[in-house]
Homo-oligomer: A and B are copies of this chain.
């Protein structure tokens, strides 16, 4: 600390560019000494006194190391890049949050670049390549590639030049490590919850049956039923658009198809928006939730799940955790761990609210 001058004042005085030499001069020591102290290298022997003298000088002058110069000289940067369509379609923002927090803990910086992958091949294919190119120009040490919904992706060639980890998606070419939600376990836990509540005839409002989310969640549902000695009645599985309207229609179909005694007593909706529609269908028929029909969702889209009446019990997608794990994995890779195409599954926790 400079004795009486406030740091503010010193900062104001400073004109562009206090360098290491300035610090050295001010402290009356050599540049070498300053460099040693600042990057506290081990093999250096510096007396406690010089050390504090240098630190004081840093404070007094408001010295700020030039990250670019440092990266240039040391051939390392503290940066990771994340390229994601989440910037353009902010459904899974929590991935960024998780990654950002973890990066911050690791004292690293996240450069966020936009992507318009949206659907694999598109008019904006160029944007994504350009984004990665820009990131590589900044000499990021690794890349994170995140999608808004769980699916296979084709990663641009250039991403292979540095360690790359996929989040909420996986490599169609099977070369890169990825981190995805454990859809199967999620499906299982959802249906187990329904079974535990005494339901044995369970309707499923399915997504497009080809996407990984649907495949996994359904598989989990079957496992749960099998565990109770039951089977999934294919007639009770209805697919619909992944929207409230889609859910509404699917629910109508299931509810109207059977006489009361054969009607399912619970609905497993493969996402919360569809559950929202299902709510309407159920209420419209004068039925109550969860009294007549229990409903369980998937995704935990806060604004929906927490505000529906009754509040929706659902399985959460662990976006934040995936983001954090992505950074950790990347850290391991950049530290030299061999790159494999491992897929890490992250748990989807059940959030109990009031619809079961």
**CB–CB B101/A97 < 8 A:** no
Residues of chain B contacted by A134 (CB below 8 angstroms) = 109
**CB–CB B65/A68 < 8 A:** no
Does A276 touch B at the CB level, under 8 Å? yes
Residues of chain B contacted by A138 (CB below 8 angstroms) = 67-68, 109
Residues of chain B contacted by A118 (CB below 8 angstroms) = none
**CB–CB B133/A64 < 8 A:** yes
Distance of A66 Cα from B71 Cα, bound (Å): 10
Instruction: Find A88's partner among B97, B109, B244 (CB 8 Å cutoff).
Output: B97
Interface size class of A (residues with CB under 8 A): 35 or more
Distance of A7 Cα from B71 Cα, bound (Å): 27
Residues of chain B contacted by A104 (CB below 8 angstroms) = 114, 127
Does A93 touch B at the CB level, under 8 Å? yes
Which A52-71 residues have C-beta < 8 A from chain B? 64-69, 71
Distance of A69 Cα from B93 Cα, bound (Å): 32
Distance of A100 Cα from B127 Cα, bound (Å): 13
**CB–CB A90/B87 < 8 A:** no
Distance of A309 Cα from B277 Cα, bound (Å): 11
Minimal Cβ-Cβ distance residue in B for A138 = B67
**CB–CB B276/A307 < 8 A:** yes
Does A157 touch B at the CB level, under 8 Å? yes
Which A146-203 residues have C-beta < 8 A from chain B? 157-158, 161
**CB–CB B68/A77 < 8 A:** yes
Distance of A89 Cα from B104 Cα, bound (Å): 16
**CB–CB A72/B66 < 8 A:** yes
**CB–CB A96/B87 < 8 A:** yes
Residues of chain B contacted by A44 (CB below 8 angstroms) = none
Minimal Cβ-Cβ distance residue in B for A306 = B244
A residues neighboring B (CB under 8 Å): 7-8, 11, 64-69, 71-72, 77, 87-88, 90, 93-94, 96-97, 100-101, 104, 109-112, 114, 127, 133-134, 136-139, 157-158, 161, 244, 273, 276, 280, 301, 303-304, 307, 309
Where chain A touches its partner, the secondary structure class is helix
Distance of A37 Cα from B11 Cα, bound (Å): 39
Residues of chain B contacted by A67 (CB below 8 angstroms) = 68, 137-139
Instruction: Find A161's partner among B7, B11, B139, B280 (CB 8 Å cutoff).
Output: B11
Residues of chain B contacted by A133 (CB below 8 angstroms) = 64
Distance of A11 Cα from B136 Cα, bound (Å): 13
Distance of A87 Cα from B100 Cα, bound (Å): 8
Residues of chain B contacted by A8 (CB below 8 angstroms) = 157
A334, chain B: closest CB distance, angstroms: 14
Instruction: Find A66's partner among B90, B94, B100, B137 (CB 8 Å cutoff).
Output: B137
**CB–CB A158/B11 < 8 A:** yes
Minimal Cβ-Cβ distance residue in B for A6 = B157
**CB–CB B114/A100 < 8 A:** yes
Distance of A101 Cα from B101 Cα, bound (Å): 23
Residues of chain B contacted by A136 (CB below 8 angstroms) = 64
Distance of A144 Cα from B292 Cα, bound (Å): 52
Residues of chain B contacted by A110 (CB below 8 angstroms) = 112
Residues of chain B contacted by A77 (CB below 8 angstroms) = 68
**CB–CB A68/B139 < 8 A:** yes
Distance of A7 Cα from B129 Cα, bound (Å): 13
Minimal Cβ-Cβ distance residue in B for A94 = B90
Residues of chain B contacted by A7 (CB below 8 angstroms) = 157
18 more contacts with CB within 8 A, not counting A87-B96, A90-B93, are: A7-B157, A64-B137, A65-B137, A66-B137, A67-B68, A68-B138, A68-B139, A69-B72, A90-B94, A90-B97, A93-B93, A101-B114, A109-B111, A111-B111, A112-B112, A301-B303, A303-B303, A303-B304
